Structure 1
Amino acid sequence: MGSRVLVTWIELTVVGITGGLLGATVGGPPGFVIYLATTLLTVGIIFHNVNELVKTWLRASQNERAME
């Protein structure tokens, strides 16, 4: 679980910094579109990693029940 949280933070940091730099460099309406795409990608990263964590927790709880 700890590694998934670390991977999530790294992904969010890389995407946020890259999107911010690109958006500021381009500027204007295209920069705004880059900011929106960065936000959308950030939400996708969070959803994906939360989904993976939930699947891991469900598998772990099912294995605990099977052992009882």
Structure 2
Amino acid sequence: MGSDDDRVDRPPNGSWIEPSPPRLGSRILMTWLELTIVGITGGLLGATVGGPPGFVIYLATTLLTVGIVFHNVNELVKAWLRASQSGSAIE
């Protein structure tokens, strides 16, 4: 069938590519953009609806913003761990 080398994931040119270090600036910019879009949309929608449903929309917007921050911090930590395991950690 195939040799053991067929089971190893290698790039087509045979060289190994190390993961790049985390890009803190782009992650901060992306987080800011996501929070701005969610905040403005949730605020406008909550103010438009008003009353108890508007309050629920405000609460959902707050929950979503916390989720965005947690997601982006998690992605940064995963990138730092990958970079440190490959030996190219930023210290």
TM value normalised by structure 2 = 0.68
Aligned residue runs from structure 1 range 1-68, under 5 A: 1=23, 2-64=25-87
**Cα displacement (A) at 1:4:** 1.4
Deviation by residue 1:21-64 (Cα, 9 ceiling, x = unmatched): 11111110000000000001001111111000000011111111
Task: Work out which of the two has the higher radius of gyration on C-alpha atoms and give 1 or 2.
Answer: 2
AA paired with 1:44? G
Counterpart-to-counterpart distance in 1, 2:76 and 2:60 = 24
Count, aligned residues: 65
Where is the helix percentage greater, Structure 1 or Structure 2?
1
Counterpart-to-counterpart distance in 1, 2:65 and 2:38 = 7
AA paired with 1:30? P
Counterpart-to-counterpart distance in 2, 1:45 and 1:13 = 11
TM value normalised by structure 1 = 0.90
Over aligned residue pairs, what C-alpha RMSD do you find? 1.1
Identity of aligned residues (%): 85
- Where structure 1 has 5 or more consecutive residues not aligned to the other structure, the ranges are none
| Equivalent in the alignment of 2:9 | none
Counterpart-to-counterpart distance in 2, 1:63 and 1:3 = 21
- Where structure 2 has 5 or more consecutive residues not aligned to the other structure, the ranges are 1-22
